[in-house]
Amino acid sequence: MEAGVRVAATIICAIACLVLVLAERTHHRARYVAKPVASLAFIAVGLHAPPLILAGLVLGAIGDAALLFDRGFLPGLVAFLAGHIAYAVAFPPHGAWVAAPALGGLTALVWLWPHLGSMRVPVIAYIAAIVAMVGGALATGNGILKVGAIAFFASDLSVARDRFVEKTWINRAWGLPAYYAGQLLIAWATS
């Protein structure tokens, strides 16, 4: 894809993310437009990425759509889990590179554990997948990919905090920009 189109899609994603964050503040229905637009924009940036990366981007967009709805958390979690698995297969984790994300994942799990209830097994699976994804990204020589994977991991902490610990707009105010930046960086790094 022409670089200009990818830049335009990146700008569209950033603007849609800003609208989404503001709409989340007031629960405005604009979020039902802004979120899919932002997600489609990062897919547009990654259209020429390898198939597993493109699959990860599409699965992320499916997860985004699911999270727009009250009953969409578990389907969204499954879509994101599948996306992380696609990314982890595309850039497999390597030994010592998994140590830091594994420590981060374990810390998150200890923090979330008292709040998880029946979601313990799905959250453990999810954390394992994102740790593998980040470990694989860190093992590459691609700095943009590394930052993208770390931003994605950070954004997941905001979702976990919002879902399991304390539901507040602040979680979305920093988590959504981290998520969209992460997906954009992954798309740019691999296309």
**pLDDT tens-digit series, residues 124-151:** 999 999 999 999 999 998 999 999 999 9
Residue numbers of the chain with a pLDDT score lower than 50: none
Enumerate the domain spans of the chain.
3-190
pLDDT at 156: 95
CA atoms within 13 A on the CB side of 146: 9
pLDDT at 96: 75
pLDDT at 141: 85
d(CA 127, CA 88): 12
d(CA 140, CA 147): 11
Residue 76: exposure state from Cβ atoms within 10 A (0-12, 13-18, ≥19): buried
pLDDT at 2: 87
Q: What percent of the chain has pLDDT over 70?
A: 99
Instruction: Tell me if 57 sits within 8 A of 49, measured CB to CB.
Output: yes
d(CA 105, CA 100): 9
Residue 141: exposure state from Cβ atoms within 10 A (0-12, 13-18, ≥19): exposed
